Amino acid sequence: MSQNVLYDALVVDNKGMWGMSDVSYLDGYIYHMVHFDNLRNIFQRRAILSKQKVFQERIHYHSIANDEVQSFRDRIYIWDFARQKYRSLHSYVPFYFATHPPMLHNKYTLKVCRIE
């Protein structure tokens, strides 16, 4: 049995070779990138929380975010039609519709994430 790790449809084998899996984003899949250490908390809560909610509830988590990008996102607000007010981008949970978002490539090439 091959020791492969599936990381948001990025398949990495035990020799460090990686490539795309056969998952197509057009088939209705969505993806969320998270550090492995955060999975226990997600499973216990049965929810993926926004960055804003994590800070409000003072939940300890391991961030994989680029601080420069997060600083930029702190200044972005989106009109919420249901609530009729602006909400911070960090009040939403980020999902991806592609198997290889730019952040995943950045983390892999900079070797910030250790994929075993």
Q: What residues pair up with 18 in beta bridges, in sequence order?
A: 12
Q: In the predicted model, what is the mean pLDDT of the chain? A: 75
The per-residue pLDDT for 38 is 93
* Domain chopping of the chain, boundaries: 1-32+96-116, 34-93
Tens-digit pLDDT profile for residues 5-20:
333 344 444 454 445 4
The per-residue pLDDT for 106 is 62
Do 50 and 90 meet the contact criterion of CB atoms below 8 Å apart?
Answer: yes
Tens-digit pLDDT profile for residues 60-87:
999 988 888 899 999 999 999 999 999 9
Euclidean distance between CA atoms 15 and 71, whole angstroms: 36
Q: Does pTM top 0.75 for this prediction?
A: no
How buried is 44 (Cβ within 10 angstroms: 0-12 exposed, 13-18 middle, 19+ buried)?
A: exposed
The per-residue pLDDT for 2 is 36
Q: What residues pair up with 20 in beta bridges, in sequence order?
A: 10
- Phi-psi category of 41—alpha, beta or left, where left has phi over 0 and alpha has psi -120 to 50? alpha
**3 state SS of 90:** helix
> Long-range contacts for 55-62 (Cβ within 8 Å, ≥24 apart)?
61/35, 61/37, 62/35, 62/37, 62/38
**3 state SS of 45:** helix
